[in-house]
Chain A
Amino acid sequence: MRKTLLLALTFLALFSCTKEEPTGQTPLTAVLKSDINANHSTFQYFSFVTGDTIPTADSSTTNWDIAFKGTTVILNSGISGTGNAGVVILDAIFSEVTEAPTTGYAQDSNSSLAIPAGSNNGWYNYAGPPNHTITPLAGKVFVIKTALGNYAKLEFISYYKGAPAEPNGLTDESRYFTIRYVYQPDGTTNLE
């Protein structure tokens, strides 16, 4: 039962991915992007503008906003890229965040990444033995300033392929990001 539901959801998500980008005034839609494969030796780059992954060759351009490798998440900013991206991490519910803050955006630096590594520190919890499962922290909303200075909000949904309802760090295929985001292409802070 649960699996069918999940499957249905995945289809829904795929469907919404293929929808054309919202234009201007119409309310923004949340996009569920499933299974971004971060199981490489290099980062997997991603753009909110195209809603899709970006080839490694473009890593020194502003074509990408965020990138994933294992549990490490970087932004196109500071030490990680040529863009001017940044993040404000809020303790909130995704739908409640309707307005991006205007200040306080952290960038990747030598001392710390904007989305810090470590359990309960950035975006995930590491359960440790026996199953070593990585679970995205619920109630963490990442308001992102993109490489080109637009705003988006993002939450992490799963670290495992197919976003299983009861992930197991030992048996499920890991390093597959499922994220939900809302991108505001018009340059305003409105995220509704």
Chain B
Amino acid sequence: MNRLITHFFFILVFGAVTTCLSAQAQDSTNSNKIETDYNLIEQIVVTATKTETKIENSTVPISVIARKYIDASGSVKLSDILQEHTGLQLSNFLGTGVQLQGMSAEYTLILINGEPVIGKNAGVVDLSRIIVSNIKKVEIIKGPVSCLYGSDAIGGVINIITEDAFNVKDAVQLSLQYKSPTNLTTSLFTAFTRKKVSFENNVVHNFSNGYHTIKETVHKEGTPYNDFTINNKLTVKANNNIQAGIGFKYYFSKLHNYDYYLNDVEENIIAKQEDRINEFNISPFFKYSQKNIVLNIRNYNSFYKSETGIYGENINTDLYLDNFKQLLNKVEVQLDYTKKNHLLTVGTGGFYNLVKSNRNDDKITQHQEYLFAQYQYEWKSKIFFNVGNRIDFPSDFKIQWLSPKASIRFNVNKYFAIKLSGGRGFKAPDIRQQYLNFTNILVGYSVYGSNIAVEKLDELEALGQIQTYSVPKENIKDLLAEKSWNGNATFEIKPIPDKLKIEVNYFRNQLTDMIEAVPTATKTNGALIYTYYNLNKVYTQGVEANINYQIINGLQLEIGYNFLDAKDVSVLNEIKEGKIFKRDPITLETSRVTKKEYGGLFDRSKQSFNIKIYYNNTKYDFNTYLRVIYRGKYGWSDVNGNQILDTKEEYARGYTLLNFSFTKTFKDKYNLKFGIDNMLNTKRPKYIPSMNGITAIVGLTINFLNNHQ
């Protein structure tokens, strides 16, 4: 109840503030409704090349989720939108991440307006942190883009691009949405443009009282949360050549839940968990463009703080406390030079990263400088060619990485085109892998980052606390970056140009030097000590197919299918040598695992597909959006103790979601939305406890400024 009051308080206060701000805008003559159809704008993409490129000319696999689909779906969180897209698979370990081309979520680089989102948990940016209000579009590049973005861009890049006030002109838009059972979202978007200046402000409050999907437990599977986001952007177009501005973002989130917990005298007690996250960004930018030169200077400063506590309810004790602070400062200068059909891009930048956490001993600082270059060439709208590379100079490594990439597109004729691309990606060892100092007293194990492991083991050894080493101490070395090779081959067929497009992409990624925590020593009390090594080698390959068909004007059909094969190469080798066994849980007989039984990496679905039907009726001003999302069975966890996926008990059941929404616009001013998510009432309490059954959505959006037209 308290939260409900806060919620309405919030609406009142920010309603007042933003209405004041937009009061000036109201007398402006060029008030316009917020454009909902971005067909023209979405043709231009920026993520794949860091320059503006037409999507039809792209040389790499790229897809765009346009605002009209985001709006029509009634989704609130970015993760909800992404899971409806071909080849994107959500993973739910310590926050919601997304796999691209079968590569784990930590190999997907998440950007907002081209800048990295910080504050990762176990290497993953939690996508449920990102609210989709104010998003103009989401660009998704599959395959590595380390040649431009450096670390983490192995599986691909997801770039969330927010609204540009210059496109919106003037707007005051209030939006309220309820999603059953307990979610309420309120947002207020205001924007105005005055000759050379544009300003936008977006405030979103999103909260949920949580819900149970499994009865008779204190734990709410849908965690209660309270999120608050403010986004501002001020842009000045000084003249035709110079544009400058500043972006600002504040995010606050609080989550809480209850669960049973074993305290240190092994009593089962009810404990409260509380998480708080604060995030703050300032990003000034400057752009100078001339006939054939574009200069971009971007500065990005991001501060992130999270605190997690687990508290005993009856006894006033802290069972677990965790805090994490990160500061990132980044500067990048980029110069694009165009001459006829040649486009050369050179850039340089650097960042400073500071982390302070009780997971590490001291505060950790890192800095890194880099250079990148890219050359694009176009020949008579037939051939498009792109080659790029980047070099990184990190402070705590001696190694400089080369991350080349080359791609080409042939437009054979108006019906047929081929895209080929190949390149390298890398992921730098993260702070956790280098400096973590973590001991779980309850369960009794310790994990040390590789940079401090030897020192820690020496200390314990001097105290006589080490019983045995399972890995010799000499084998602990400074970690190398994880590196990948990727190849993509895309065939684009347009049987009916501008109406029907069929795209088939074959991909393969090969990742080496994967960093993994391995038990290294056993303490005299039996507790294990883990540290990190560059060990494994995996590959992912598959085929992604998309059909996009505009059946009649306003009726759009999309079908996507993804086939994936993702395996650990060292496991394959051990199977070949007959070194991996399994025990049948019923007969208790042991046998050798065969290559055929090996199901590959966990949390990967061999098959998945989606069907989306969007219908927009301009005569009666309504749209409907129907989505079917299927995820095939996937590896859940090892049951028979051999660490690999090889028996049917180790798979999680697949699922199908059917989501539908209907939006009706009245008088160009009111938008009324009804939706039902998960119409089939699919539930997977064992695997995805938070999956709610049938979910109702009701929303209202009011465009205030349209009144004045």
Interface size on B, residues (CB 8 A): 29
Do B640 and A111 have beta carbons less than 8 Å apart? no
**A5 CB, min distance to chain B CBs, angstroms:** 5
- CA A118 to CA B524, docked complex, whole Å: 11
Report which of B468, B579, B640 forms a contact with A135, defined as CB distance below 8 A. Answer: B640
Given contacts A136-B583, A137-B641, A139-B580, contact A118 B590 (CB under 8 A): no
Determine if B642 is an interface residue (Cβ-Cβ < 8 Å): yes
Determine if A143 is an interface residue (Cβ-Cβ < 8 Å): no
Which residues from 580 to 624 on chain B have a C-beta closer than 8 Å to any C-beta of chain A?
Answer: 580-583, 585-588, 590-592
Do B641 and A117 have beta carbons less than 8 Å apart? no
Determine if A6 is an interface residue (Cβ-Cβ < 8 Å): yes
Residue of B nearest to A125 (CB): B641
Could you show 27 A-B contacts with beta carbons less than 8 Å apart?
A2-B585, A5-B586, A6-B586, A9-B587, A32-B588, A93-B590, A94-B590, A118-B519, A119-B519, A119-B528, A120-B643, A121-B519, A121-B522, A125-B642, A127-B637, A128-B445, A135-B638, A135-B639, A135-B640, A136-B641, A137-B581, A138-B583, A139-B581, A157-B583, A165-B586, A166-B639, A180-B588
Which residues from 607 to 659 on chain B have a C-beta closer than 8 Å to any C-beta of chain A?
Answer: 637-643, 649
Which residues from 99 to 130 on chain A have a C-beta closer than 8 Å to any C-beta of chain B?
Answer: 111-112, 116-121, 124-129
Determine if B467 is an interface residue (Cβ-Cβ < 8 Å): yes
Q: Give every chain B residue within 8 A of A166 (Cβ-Cβ).
A: 585, 639, 649
Which B residues contact A (CB, under 8 angstroms)? 443, 445, 467-468, 470, 519, 522, 526, 528, 579-583, 585-588, 590-592, 637-643, 649
- CA A73 to CA B190, docked complex, whole Å: 69
Do B590 and A138 have beta carbons less than 8 Å apart? yes
Residue of A nearest to B468 (CB): A112
Do A163 and B588 have beta carbons less than 8 Å apart? yes
Q: Give every chain A residue within 8 A of B641 (Cβ-Cβ).
A: 124-125, 135-138
Determine if A71 is an interface residue (Cβ-Cβ < 8 Å): yes
Given contacts A118-B470, A127-B638, A128-B445, contact A139 B592 (CB under 8 A): yes
Determine if A52 is an interface residue (Cβ-Cβ < 8 Å): no
Q: Give every chain A residue within 8 A of B643 (Cβ-Cβ).
A: 120, 125
1/0 contact string of A1-21 vs chain B (CB within 8 Å): 010011001000000000000
Q: Give every chain B residue within 8 A of A157 (Cβ-Cβ).
A: 583, 588
Do A118 and B592 have beta carbons less than 8 Å apart? no
Q: Give every chain B residue within 8 A of A132 (Cβ-Cβ).
A: 443
- CA A116 to CA B641, docked complex, whole Å: 17
- CA A174 to CA B700, docked complex, whole Å: 55
Determine if A65 is an interface residue (Cβ-Cβ < 8 Å): no
- CA A139 to CA B588, docked complex, whole Å: 12
Q: Give every chain A residue within 8 A of B528 (Cβ-Cβ).
A: 118-119, 126
Do A137 and B642 have beta carbons less than 8 Å apart? yes
Q: Give every chain B residue within 8 A of A135 (Cβ-Cβ).
A: 638-641
Q: Give every chain B residue within 8 A of A186 (Cβ-Cβ).
A: none
Residue of B nearest to A141 (CB): B590
Do B592 and A117 have beta carbons less than 8 Å apart? no
- CA A5 to CA B587, docked complex, whole Å: 9
**A37 CB, min distance to chain B CBs, angstroms:** 19
- CA A119 to CA B517, docked complex, whole Å: 13
Taking A125-B643, A137-B581, A157-B588 as given, write out 12 further A-B residue pairs in contact, using a Cβ cutoff of 8 Å, ordered by the A residue number: A91-B581, A112-B467, A118-B519, A119-B519, A121-B468, A121-B470, A125-B641, A135-B639, A136-B583, A137-B642, A138-B583, A139-B642
1/0 contact string of A124-160 vs chain B (CB within 8 Å): 1111110010011111100000000000000101000
Do A116 and B468 have beta carbons less than 8 Å apart? yes
What interface size band does chain A fall in?
A: 35 or more
Do B588 and A9 have beta carbons less than 8 Å apart? yes
Do B585 and A93 have beta carbons less than 8 Å apart? no
Which A residues contact B (CB, under 8 angstroms)? 2, 5-6, 9, 32, 70-72, 91, 93-94, 111-112, 116-121, 124-129, 132, 135-140, 155, 157, 163, 165-166, 178, 180
- CA A143 to CA B264, docked complex, whole Å: 39
Do A93 and B583 have beta carbons less than 8 Å apart? no
Do A117 and B582 have beta carbons less than 8 Å apart? no
Do A129 and B443 have beta carbons less than 8 Å apart? yes
Report which of B526, B585, B590, B592 forms a contact with A71, defined as CB distance below 8 A. Answer: B526
Residue of A nearest to B588 (CB): A157
Do A111 and B468 have beta carbons less than 8 Å apart? yes
Do B443 and A155 have beta carbons less than 8 Å apart? no
Do B443 and A128 have beta carbons less than 8 Å apart? yes
- CA A135 to CA B638, docked complex, whole Å: 10
Do A120 and B519 have beta carbons less than 8 Å apart? yes
- Which 8 A/B pairs are nearest by Cβ-Cβ distance? A139-B581, A135-B641, A165-B585, A138-B581, A138-B583, A118-B522, A125-B641, A138-B590
- CA A117 to CA B216, docked complex, whole Å: 38
Q: Give every chain B residue within 8 A of A138 (Cβ-Cβ).
A: 581-583, 590, 640-642
**A29 CB, min distance to chain B CBs, angstroms:** 15
Q: Give every chain B residue within 8 A of A112 (Cβ-Cβ).
A: 467-468
In this complex, which of A2, A71, A137 has the most chain B Cβ atoms within 10 angstroms of its Cβ? Answer: A137
Residue of B nearest to A116 (CB): B468
Q: Give every chain A residue within 8 A of B649 (Cβ-Cβ).
A: 165-166
- CA A5 to CA B591, docked complex, whole Å: 19
- CA A178 to CA B588, docked complex, whole Å: 10
**A90 CB, min distance to chain B CBs, angstroms:** 11
Q: Give every chain A residue within 8 A of B582 (Cβ-Cβ).
A: 138-139
Residue of B nearest to A71 (CB): B526
Q: Give every chain B residue within 8 A of A127 (Cβ-Cβ).
A: 637-638
- CA A71 to CA B430, docked complex, whole Å: 34
Q: Give every chain B residue within 8 A of A91 (Cβ-Cβ).
A: 579, 581
- CA A132 to CA B519, docked complex, whole Å: 15
Residue of B nearest to A5 (CB): B586
**B646 CB, min distance to chain A CBs, angstroms:** 10
**B300 CB, min distance to chain A CBs, angstroms:** 35
Residue of A nearest to B640 (CB): A138
- CA A65 to CA B445, docked complex, whole Å: 31
- CA A136 to CA B643, docked complex, whole Å: 11
- CA A9 to CA B586, docked complex, whole Å: 8
**B616 CB, min distance to chain A CBs, angstroms:** 45
Residue of A nearest to B638 (CB): A127
**A172 CB, min distance to chain B CBs, angstroms:** 13
- CA A105 to CA B283, docked complex, whole Å: 67
- CA A111 to CA B470, docked complex, whole Å: 12
- CA A71 to CA B643, docked complex, whole Å: 19
- CA A129 to CA B440, docked complex, whole Å: 11
Q: Give every chain B residue within 8 A of A119 (Cβ-Cβ).
A: 519, 528
- CA A125 to CA B581, docked complex, whole Å: 13
Residue of A nearest to B586 (CB): A5
- CA A70 to CA B444, docked complex, whole Å: 14
Do B585 and A139 have beta carbons less than 8 Å apart? no
- CA A120 to CA B519, docked complex, whole Å: 8
Residue of A nearest to B580 (CB): A139
- CA A121 to CA B585, docked complex, whole Å: 22
- CA A51 to CA B644, docked complex, whole Å: 34
- CA A137 to CA B579, docked complex, whole Å: 12
- CA A25 to CA B526, docked complex, whole Å: 43
- CA A124 to CA B642, docked complex, whole Å: 10
Do B590 and A139 have beta carbons less than 8 Å apart? yes
Q: Give every chain B residue within 8 A of A128 (Cβ-Cβ).
A: 443, 445
Q: Give every chain B residue within 8 A of A2 (Cβ-Cβ).
A: 585-586
Residue of A nearest to B470 (CB): A121
**A24 CB, min distance to chain B CBs, angstroms:** 27
